[in-house]
Amino acid sequence: MKLTLKIWRQGGKYKGEFVNYELPDVNPDMSFLEMLDVLNEQLISRREDPVSFEHDCREGICGTCSMVIDGRPHGPMKGTTTCQVHMRHYNDGETIVIEPFRAMAFPVVKDLVVDRSAFDRIIQSGGYVSVNTGQAQDANAIPIEKTIASEAFDAATCIGCGACVAACPNASAMLFTSAKVSHLALLPQGQVERKRRVLNMIAQMDKEGFGQCSNVKACEAECPKEISVSNIARLNREYISASLTADVK
């Protein structure tokens, strides 16, 4: 199949603009990223600058392949990362617009690559639990009710890709932060740092320049792991109660 790609180029000789590329012979069985690999091979053979894009596992679990395809982070399919989108979902002759995630907290490094280290700093500020070193505990030493375990697990499926920020009209990181806070607040292992965690993570989130959630729910719709905005409600509860009842003045 024949496709036209309209790709955002930024860095090097490009100041930040869309450039059109024709791909005359795309195999429908290719994944989206393989299609970009083919484009890059052609660009390299023509001695042109290849399109920079991020990828790692190509299995839909690492969250590295960040890009906005036709206005949607990770492309047209629900609950799917870019690497799991296949070209059979497109029609012959179609034009596909590919852009980087856009947010002030995610500056563009080059082309489709953005710097998402703001997420790392949010995690560093509180997204951890303290455990004693030594031998691993017996798996059943701490009983956790099934519904709670499932809910914590649902939150823990967040791969930190940043699609929520990219989709949000306010570039808010609340869905990401809420998934991380929920995951640990629900589990007994997360109780020790529970209040401190939410206070620190929100402080860091605000410092990074993300916007404020206005409950548009675009994040939930675009999240490749379908994290629910009910986590944002929990984050709000956690933050309000931690602010009111923190153990320090």
Nearer residue to other proteins within complex by CB, 191 or 212: 212
Classified as helix, coil or strand, 79 is coil
For residue 91, state whether it binds other proteins (rule: CB under 8 A): no
Interface with other proteins in residues 96-125 (CB under 8 A): 97, 99, 102-105, 108
Give the residue with the Cβ less far from other proteins, 41 or 206. Answer: 206
At residue 118, the 3 state secondary structure works out as helix
**Do the beta carbons of residue 66 and residue 39 sit within 8 Å?**
no
CA distance 197 to 129: 9
What is the per-residue DSSP string for 166-230?
HH-TT-B-HHHHHHHHHHHHHSGGGSTTHHHHHHHHHHHHHHTT-B---S--HHHHH-TT---TH
User: Which residue's CB is nearer to other proteins, number 58 or number 164?
Assistant: 164
Q: How far is the CB of 233 from other proteins (least distance, A)?
A: 3
Short-list 72, 70, 45, 40, CA closest to 55: 40
Place of tokens 């190509």: 58
Query: Least distance (Å) from other proteins to the CB of residue 55?
Result: 21
Total Cβ atoms within 10 A of residue 192: 13
- The verdict on 209 binding other proteins (CB under 8 A) reads yes
Q: Which of 2, 191, 214, 226 binds other proteins (CB under 8 A)?
A: 214
- From residue 134 to residue 173, the character string flagging contacts with other proteins as x (rule: CB under 8 A) and all else as - is -----------------------------------xxxx-
| Residues within the interface to other proteins (CB under 8 A) | 6, 8, 16, 18, 68, 70-72, 97, 99, 102-105, 108, 169-172, 174, 202-203, 205-206, 209-218, 221, 229-230, 232-237, 239-240, 243, 246, 249
